[in-house]
Amino acid sequence: MSKRLTIGLFGFGVVGQGLYDIISTKDLNIEIRKIAIKNPDKKRSLPDELFTTDANVILNDPEINTIIELINDADAAYEIVTRALKSGKNVVSANKKMIAEHLDELVELQEKYGTSLLYEGSVCGSIPIIRNLEEYYDNELLHSISGIFNGSSNFILSKIANEGLEYADALKQAQDLGFAEKDPILDVGGYDPKYKLVIAAAHAYGLFVRPEEVLNIGIQNFSNADLQFAQEHQLKIKLVPTAKKLNDKELAMYVIPKLVPKSDFLYNVENEYNAVSVKAAFADQQLFYGKGAGGHPTGSAVLSDVAALRYDYRYEYKKFNHDSKLKLQNDHVIPVYIRYNNEDLINSLHFEFIAEQHKSLDLKYVLGGIKISELILKKQDILDDGAFLAQASALTEKFEELKRVKFEKI
């Protein structure tokens, strides 16, 4: 039999309101006792006595046994979540930045205080990927996890490619629809999908990685020249986070745009939709697909966690506890396309090999292999140049031949 949950909700924005809408239509033995908000002057459709601006009203209430944290401020979210866990309250959060930056500590707190922190809504909205990595793939050998983890950037790229919008116009549409923030750098710069990748990798591989150790280069320098290059090769450009097992001891993780062929599941994932592609030794390749942005999709994932808490569900972090031998390897070589402006940038980059270099009045690019560590080191130079970089594994023939010759010489 499920237990009754008495909830203190932090945040009543798009996701908070979406969650409240969903809960109000269900009979789940759940009561939202209090909602903490930032702006008391904003008009709301619910009774005033339901709201408070004092976090302590919720955190110190002994009758509230569950906290739902849905605010944008990662530092404030960390304070709320840690206090709640230490006081014996279970927590549901969708704050991917806070979770990614403090996951190892949050796992220790749950173990120490016998509490549970669930965060399905922090990774890819309505897609139930965390629970599947925890339960369905708990004994699987996972070769890789990749996909489209950010609905905002995917929406922008879709509008440019399919409707001919300029980058600025597509970004404004995403902001007007609530898919992108006023300051969109977390989305278009690849930070948001990086936080999600860090969380997913912890459950898939048992490896806790600091976000700052993971390469992220986004779509902020994307241009019509890059779109034309992709279309000429019958490819699409998507922002794709990747966690790839290199061997029994090493894992590569990075977030960069990718040139995607028609044969790839991700080719047809458009607009604000997300997709997670899992390649496994026994289950082969599987795709999880769903909306990754919006109040109701994310609210549904949060509600799934809340419902699980009625039965005392906890993440077990099985692969961390039983198979945590993997280390992050940033010396892995990835094939890339770099469209650049100044020769100084290309001359400063150390390529492991170059398959093709093109120079014309309209377009200058290099196809080559480069280490992730080199891209981390030169990331700011790449962005300052206005260059656009994308993983180019779809153009494999040239790369495979060059790698074969290179390694035979060694």
Catalytically annotated residues: 196
Q: What is the 3-state secondary structure (H, E, C) of 331-371?
A: CCEEEEEEECCCHHHHHHCCCCEEEEEEECCCCEEEEEEEE
Copy the structure tokens of residue 335.
Answer: 């094939």
Contact yes or no for 103/78 (Cβ under 8 A):
no
Contact yes or no for 148/174 (Cβ under 8 A):
no
Burial class from Cβ neighbours inside 10 Å (0-12, 13-18, 19+) for residue 43 reads exposed
